[in-house]
Structure 1
Amino acid sequence: MSARSAWPDCGEGPLERNINDIRVKICGLREPEHVASAVAAGAAYLGFVFFPKSPRHLDVPIAAPLALSVPPGVAKVALTVDATDDELDSITAAMPIDMLQLHGRESPARVAEIRARYGLPVMKAVGVAGPEDLAALDSYGRVADQLLVDAKPPKDAVLPGGNGLAFDWRLVERKYWPCPWMLAGGLTPFNVAEAIRLTGARQVDVSSGVETAPGRKDSNLIRAFIAAARGAVAA
């Protein structure tokens, strides 16, 4: 299946999913137990953050064994923010990464450049606060393999994402772009089903919504989030 397919295969393995399933990404993982919990609960993507300002940041030598522990069939995503080629070289050389997530101010040209340089699917995060932000999704959707539709951070925010903020989901209700997309921003086990039903999203991303404190994941919340997301489809 091609990188730009609506349901990209990121390796063959035992975790095969029906095309109608909701695919969940658990981002900002730092501990082996939480990686194992996310895999066991059925996460489709696991995100590892390489951004020193984030409480979820991992140094490459610490992240490598976590990535190596992930079984085939679960995509390993490296989240970076305006990373240089040297930084991306270091990450991709040290561990088996299936997708690069660009969460900074990378231009469409930079997205295309990274995609060509590394030969990996690229997910571009785009912050949304109002209708004026939707045009960027069309632009990035033409060069990225996937879009992460996230809440736009406040102007004084230190982090470009993972702030636990939601946006008006009606802005992206039943919207379609040139490539597959994933809903993020303020999602929790308590609201993800509503978000899925309202927007029609087939993929969702969570980080702070399954934490007890910034950067501290909780296995029970991870399981509850994935169960709630899947329950939205069943309902």
Structure 2
Amino acid sequence: MKLKICGMKHPENILEVGALLPDYMGFIFWEKSARYFNGTIPELIGTIKKTGVFVNQSLEEIVEKVKTYDLQAVQLHGNESVEFLSELKKQLPKKIEIIKVFSADEDFDFNVIKPFESVCDYFLFDTKGKLPGGNGTTFDWKILKKYNSDKPFFLSGGIGINELKALEEISKSNLPIYAVDINSKFEIEPGLKNKNLLTNFKRKFEIANF
């Protein structure tokens, strides 16, 4: 299982967190977010995939950010359509991964994801809340028993140290969980991560060997 650390904002903190070598690092390009990123990404070591997070933004803006920041993945948190993703896929280099986000609660209908299977590389399930992401709470993972796709997905939404046991349990299922996405549970303030907490989590995450 891969690890994504999202909502990075400050260059020094980016380097600190980058030294932990997560598989993905997320930068939020939605201006209404408290974690909005508009700076310079320092050079990262290893093979960390820089991921741009967007919410109902134009094709032009997404393509421009991918080029400007040399992104390796884009994460779409809005109401983007199948047609939008299809066109984005055409405009981006083939190596760029596309992650489509769905906000989940107990009433979520997994049938809505089916048309997106051919136009993205991964799904991401986050907790339905007031904001498109970063609400800091988990959803009931039992609903994932209804998952009806072979597409690998990221699991997100309020994941912290206390969720490791539940992660271990759900990893024993046949669900194609590709990665865990962490953010707000490891923050000193929005966009500023606590390296010690992240180090502890990553160590336990690796020991669990999901």
TM-score normalised according to structure 2 size: 0.87
Q: What residue number does 1:8 align with?
A: none
List aligned pairs for 1:27-46, cutoff 5 A: 27-46=6-25
CA change 1:34–1:150 in 2 (3 A) is: same
Quick check: 2:3–2:22 contact (8 Å CA) kept in 1? yes
Gaps of 5+ in 1: 1-21
- With over 3 angstroms needed to count, the CA separation of the structure-2 counterparts of 1:174 and 1:71, relative to structure 1, is farther
Moved more, 109-118 or 99-108: 109-118
Match of 1:179 in 2: 151
Change (3 A) 1:54 1:190: same
Paired residues, what number? 204
* Aligned counterparts, 1:31-70, within 5 A: 31-59=10-38, 62=39, 65-66=40-41, 68-70=42-44
The answer for the alignment partner of 1:116 in structure 2 is 90
Shift of the 102–140 alpha-carbon distance from structure 1 to 2, 3 Å rule, reads same
Which residue in 1 is equivalent to 2:68? 94
1:116 aligned counterpart, secondary structure: helix
CA distance in 1, matches of 2:161, 2:22: 14
Name the CA distance, whole Å, in 2 between partners of 1:100 and 1:202. 16
Match 2:200 to one of 219, 224, 230: 224
Q: Which residue is 1:191 aligned to?
A: 163
Residue deviations 1:193-228, cap 9 Å, x none?
Answer: 422422553410011121123333211122122223
2:132 to 160, 167, 175: 160
Secondary structure in 1 matching 2:91? helix
Once the two structures are superposed, what CA deviation does each residue of 1:67-123 show, in whole Å capped at 9, x if it has no partner? Answer: x51234111100011111232233123121101110111012211211111122200
Deviation string, structure 1 residues 148-174 (Cα, Å, up to 9, x no partner): 111112xxx2x2001112111111149
Q: Provide the rounded CA distance (Å) in 2 between the counterparts of 1:26 and 1:82.
A: 22
Aligned partner of 2:135: which letter?
N
TM-score, normalising length from structure 1?
A: 0.79
Q: What is the alpha-carbon distance in structure 1 between the residues aligned to residue 140 and residue 84 of structure 2?
A: 28
State whether residues 144 and 179 of structure 1, in contact with CA within 8 Å, keep that contact through their aligned partners in structure 2. Answer: no
Looking at structure 2, the residues matched to 193 and 38 of structure 1 have their Cα atoms a distance apart, in angstroms, of: 23
Give the share of equivalent positions with the same residue, in percent.
27
Aligned CA RMSD, in angstroms, stands at 2.1
Contact kept, 8 Å, 1:101 with 1:125, in 2: the verdict is yes
Letter in 2 for 1:223: T
Q: Tell me by how many angstroms 1:189 deviates.
A: 1.9
